[in-house]
Structure 1
Amino acid sequence: MTNKKVSKVEKKSAKLFGTDGIRGTANQYPMTADMVVKIGQAIGYILQKQKYNAHPSLRKVVIGKDTRLSGYMIEQALASGLNSMGVHVQLVGPLPTPGIGYLTRTMRAVAGIVISASHNPFHDNGIKVFGADGFKISEEMEREIERLVLEEDLNTLLPPSKDIGRTRRIDDSQGRYIVYCKSTFPLEYTLDGMRIVLDTANGASYKVAPSIFQELGAEVIVLGDDPNGININDKVGALYPQKLAEAVVQYRADVGISLDGDADRVIMVDEKGQIVNGDRILAISALHMKERGLLKNNTLVATQMSNFGLEKAMNDAGIKVVKVGVGDKYVVEEMRKNGYNLGGEQSGHIIFLDHTTTGDGCIAALSVLAVMKQTNKKMSDLARVFDDMPQVLINLRVKRRMELDEIKGYHDLIAHIEKKLAGNGRVFVRFSGTEPVIRVLVEGKDKTEISHYADEIAAFLEKELS
């Protein structure tokens, strides 16, 4: 089928990429086998046109995935599309998203691709693309991929038969990533004597994460390490840390670590079973790095979803907080632009730019464990780093999207609520970039009051967008 016969559904889409790659329900547009082949061809065509030091015949792409059932189908379709454009493919199997960024650089690949829908349920899947430098590709390249897929007949761009690429599997990728993660932990310390409960979300880290902490000396009790293709993120992992919290108390562990499906985010639990989110992990890390002169420009990059309590605590400690739009790629973009080395999101994407190119749940957890060892403090003591301002977050599934300012009455409603908050809180509403959800966040001093405001906004939007 040529691109001239693309369905009306595809034409309406306008673009394929959201805030974190391409994502959708497996076997539905755009995550169908034929579309994924085209996406692979488009990526391959762009890579072949770019200039590299390597000989064209050595151009290779690393492909990793999480444990979703549809990963097999998408992996083969992507590899076929890339091969058809003369690009060689190296398959590494299930591996955390940050591991693909690392392998792309160290294996001198021209790109890396992750097949994952991150924290979404198993029926979704997605495609994230890294450049040769291990960072996610630019929006300009995303737009060019979209243009090629939606507007060009890619069959007219195929190279001669003799230039078709090959695909092979890399067997030692997991070991490489384990060693890499361990290298970020201070050499003079071990995790001997520490008991950890680890939840790998039945996802991409189910093999590597336990080994990372065990090889450093910890006793590790593992949850969510039995993937079957459909149980990824199913009441386990970073989105569901309560089971982990109960296990930490049950096993009298020192700390709990909960990763999401592709292990680029982490939520932790202290020894008392209290949940430690991304804001607190950022605060612990920032204060420790500043004390040792390691926090570049004494600046932390966060997003609009971060709690005001984080910003206040950092400012009190002489640390500037720069806030950007929601999405780890915007955090990384700001960090690279201005030379910062620590940033992240409340949801658990924590980026240590001295070590990695994207959020890495294992490296973030190791950083906190290093602070525990270096300060000889319990997790609960470290986590008391600031007082949260009450927040209420409602995730509302919607049937359609439109500019919020175009919704009649929306601006007046938000202005009315902000006036009632009288400068002692805030309202933040945004569409998710990865699923058909609108997120309503209200922050303020009184939990009952802000809950009422959040419900009011959600009810209004549900009526307008259903």
Structure 2
Amino acid sequence: MTQTVAVTDVMARSGVAFGTSGARGLVTAMTDEVCFTYTCAFLQHMAKIGHFAPGSGVAIAGDLRPSTARIMAACRAAIAHMGGQLVDCGLVPSPAVAAFGFARGIPSLMVTGSHIPDDRNGIKFNRANGEVLKPDEAAIRAQNVVLPDLFDAVGMLRAAPAAPEIADAAVPYVARYLDFFGSEALEGMKLGVYQHSAVGRDILAQIVSGLGAEVVLLGRSEKFIPVDTEAVRPEDVELAKLWVAQYGLDAILSTDGDSDRPLLADENGTWMRGDVLGILCAQALKLEAVATPVSSNTALEASQQFREVRRTRIGSPFVIEAMDELLADGLAACGYEANGGFLLGTAATACGRTLAALPTRDAVLPMVAVLAAAHAKGLSLSALQAQLPQRYTHSDRLQGYPTEQSHALIARLEAGKDEAVLTRLTELLGKLAGKAVTFDKTDGLRVTFADGDIIHLRPSGNAPELRVYTESATASRAASLNAQTLELVRNLPASA
């Protein structure tokens, strides 16, 4: 017996939110029925905008967390139910399956929870020509889905579909970088690849080796490790310093779980900030314009290297929308996020070679482009970074901080007229950063102080966490300001 369900009702009942680029929630809540419903809703919307029809292809891939195989099976069943031709790419990075779909003009989806712990997972959806944007999300949430009688009483498939043959999305993804940068781009460099549980760990090592570097494999784990490129774990900070000293490395490369966010350490074992990596990558590729969230390092504007910069809310859909506007204005544009994920909106050219646009978050391009630029100039990574204006960012989070509490805190802080808000912010944060002079409500609450320090509070969009971003004139000051802000907020009464 079939039943018709509304996606909004499934969201409310399951607690699995559908937001930026897809669905994400607790593994226990992401039943087969929920995942099946969201995938059908996605394909129904793709059909309405001409990106899918029965008999056409749909690409799918996943990361290495334990729940991914089951969720992929539910998504495969949904693709079959919708009449799609399944193209299973197996376990490859998010940008690899997206690029595979874009090249063939078919929608794709990636089962991944990105950087969050493995008690959670998600499904990221891509159109046939780019990431799902905010209007697409709204349309998917508005869908009603007719469910077949395939599920048991607790929402699990009674029989999972047989796993199909795997399409190799890794080969063109690797070739993308080898063909553009060339086999000598990193020649003579000794590079570590911190593999942990990233789905692209072997692909990354293959690319770096193919570009001429000597590769040292580090920290491979069969247990999922939630590496967050915006809030690097203390143990990873120590490991990087240990590894560069032990092996004499020029740099260490890594990514988050689905390998769409980069993590690059310099020759001192210091992890570079993703927003600094974005500036250096845009410079290396000689791009004219940049779209990036309001939380990214202001050295971007201070560098005076770009014709136009557009600041957005945090999240790749917002960055893509702004990047598309820049492209429409005829500018060679890119986008990046503070987590380092780099979106190439226009083809890049160098030495007679062309790198095709890839308008989705990618981890490989910013790391390889910046390493190749440093190599070509005969500079270390730290020396290359030192050429930028000296602005430093730091980010961390309060985990287990309810989303409702985060929103309530920010609502209290920004209530009233501007003068009253600045007085309140100075009273609360002044002992940390002095007088508050401006604030920005683009995404959360971003406060600039008289001496140039910045404190930015923002509720996480995919986990019960409060994100705290800070910026200052030195790295130590940005880090200490962040730690002090976290401690202050942690000790605030819930209604203060």
Q: Report TM bin, short chain.
A: 0.7 to 0.9
1:159 counterpart residue number: none
Instruction: Tell me: CA distance 1:365–1:43, structure 2 relative to 1, closer, same or farther (3 Å).
Output: same
* Matched residue, 2:34: 35
**Residue in structure 1 matched with residue 336 of structure 2 by the alignment:** 344
Distance verdict in 2 for CA 1:4–1:44, change over 3 Å: closer
Judging changes above 3 Å, is the alpha-carbon distance between structure 1 residues 244 and 456 closer, same or farther for their aligned structure 2 residues? Answer: closer
Residue by residue, what CA displacement relative to the aligned partner does 1:91-111 show, whole Å, maximum 9, x if unpaired? 1111111111110022332x0
Instruction: Indicate if the aligned counterparts of 1:351 and 1:364 stay in contact, CA closer than 8 A.
Output: no
Segments of structure 1 that go 5 or more residues without pairing to the other structure are: 157-164
Kept after mapping to 2: 8 A contact 1:61/1:90: yes
SS at match of 1:168: coil
- Alpha carbons of structure 1 residues 343 and 409: separation in structure 2 relative to 1, 3 Å: closer
1:45 aligns with 2:44: yes
**Whole-Å Cα distance in 1 between the matches of residues 91 and 336 of structure 2?**
24
1:410-455 residue CA offsets vs partner (Å, 9 max, x unmatched): 6454354473533633332211112111113344566666754553
Q: Does 1:436 align with 2:464?
A: yes
Counterpart AA for 2:191: I
Name 1:325's counterpart in structure 2: 313
**Contact 2:242 2:269 survives alignment (8 Å):** yes
Q: Find the aligned partners of 1:114 and 1:410 in 2 and give their Cα distance.
A: 37
Distance 1:399 1:371, change over 3 A: same
Which SS does the other structure have where 2:404 is aligned?
coil
Aligned to 1:183: 179
Contact 1:201 1:233 in 2 (8 A): no
Give the gaps of 5 or more residues in structure 2: 150-160, 348-356, 416-420, 437-448
**Cα drift, residue 342 of structure 1:** 2.6
The worse-fitting range, judged by mean Cα deviation, of 421-430 and 62-71 is 421-430
TM-score by length of 2: 0.78
- Pairing 1:363-402 to 2, within 5 Å after superposition: 363-386=365-388, 388-389=390-391, 393-396=395-398, 397-401=400-404
Matched, 1:202 2:204: no
Amino acid at match of 1:363: L
Q: Which residue identity lines up with residue 338 of structure 1 in the other structure? A: L
Q: Which amino acid aligns with 2:190?
A: R
Give the secondary-structure state (helix, strand or coil) at the position aligned to 1:372: helix
Quick one: structure 1 residues 196 and 398, their matched pair in 2 at CA, closer, same or farther if it must change by over 3 Å? same
The 8 Å contact of residues 101 and 357 in structure 1, kept in 2 or not, is answered as no
SS at match of 2:37: helix
Aligned with 1:306 (options 296, 300, 304): 296
Measured after TM superposition, the shift of residue 14 of structure 1 is 9.0
On the 8 A contact 2:397/2:486 being kept in 1, the answer is no
Change (3 A) 1:246 1:169: same
User: Identity percentage over the alignment?
Assistant: 23
Please say if residues 244 and 258 of structure 1, whose CA atoms lie closer than 8 Å, have aligned partners that are also in contact: no
SS at match of 2:108: strand
CA offsets per residue over residues 279-304 of structure 1, 9 Å max, x none?
A: 22123233344xxxx322xx332222
Is the Cα–Cα contact under 8 Å of residues 267 and 348 in structure 1 kept in the other structure?
Answer: yes
| 1:387 CA displacement | 5.2
Correspondence 1:269 to 2:269:
no
Alpha-carbon distance in structure 1 between the residues aligned to 2:284 and 2:425: 38
TM-score, structure 1 as length reference: 0.83
Per the TM alignment, residue 324 of structure 1 is displaced from its structure 2 partner at its CA by: 1.3
CA RMSD of superposed structures (Å): 3.3
Partner of 1:233: 226
Deviation string for 1:175-234 (max 9, x for gaps)? 22211232331x47443322110113312102211111112222111124343xx42436
**Count of residues paired in the alignment:** 437
Matched, 1:456 2:488: yes
SS of the counterpart of 1:358? strand
